[in-house]
A and B are shown apart, each in its own frame.
Chain A
Amino acid sequence: MQAVSVSAKLTKREAELLDKLTREYGFISKSEAIRSAVRLYLNLLELRPRDRLRTLQLINELIAPSGRTSGELIEETHREDDEL
């Protein structure tokens, strides 16, 4: 298997989080943790469209749940536009 090396710059907070999660999840190195994250991300983007949308919807709700409906959010956005 031919491998390609990719470098990435992380913020201090991201680097600390990567360090912590690498230890907590028992990855052999930070590179291995990043490889695993990239593979998972690519798998998500390769899902069939409907499955991808369902997964993304779940991720959105888990990462930032809110009680406001899409209608309310758009209504607020419209009001802001008018106030400008």
Chain B
Amino acid sequence: MEPSVLVKLFKREPNTGKMIDVVGAIDEGRDWYGCTSRWSLLEVARALKKDEKPRELIELDLRELRRHKITLIEVTKTILLDAEQMLISHNLYASDAVHLSTFRLARRQRRLDAMLTDDQHLRRFEGILTALTLDQVSP
């Protein structure tokens, strides 16, 4: 899962209800497994801060995220080295490179089907990434 879908959990906009159902399905283990880079928590915190949420609420939102069965993948040296190569070969943000590399490297080991994203520019990387939006899933 890419951070923009995680931020959706704390906003009211299209597909936020579906995102809650996705997390519910992950918690219940009903054919759903969800993971994200540990780096995502920082991006969610920054996005909520930019959205002018008060400190206590941001802390509560992050505690809530950690309470669910979403696996947090460590940002390892291997991921950073792979992200470095992605940055050299493609025109993308450093954070996106970390998420793409996390997905690429975790995909086989964790048998991931796709990256759940709301981020339009990530869909440019169809060859590297199998991306799904919330419109395309039915938890």
Contacts and interface: CB of A to CB of B under 8 A. Distances in A.
Interface of A: 49-50, 52-54, 56-61, 63-64, 66, 68-71, 73-82
A75 B11 contact: no
Given A71-B120, A81-B95, 14 more contacts: A50-B20, A50-B21, A56-B10, A59-B57, A60-B10, A69-B13, A71-B118, A71-B119, A73-B51, A74-B2, A74-B4, A74-B7, A75-B121, A81-B94
B25 to A, nearest CB: 10
A66 B4 contact: no
Interface of B: 2-5, 7-13, 16-17, 20-21, 23-24, 27, 43, 46-48, 50-54, 57, 60-61, 64, 67-68, 93-96, 118-121
Contact of A57 (B20, B51, B94): B20
A77 B13 contact: no
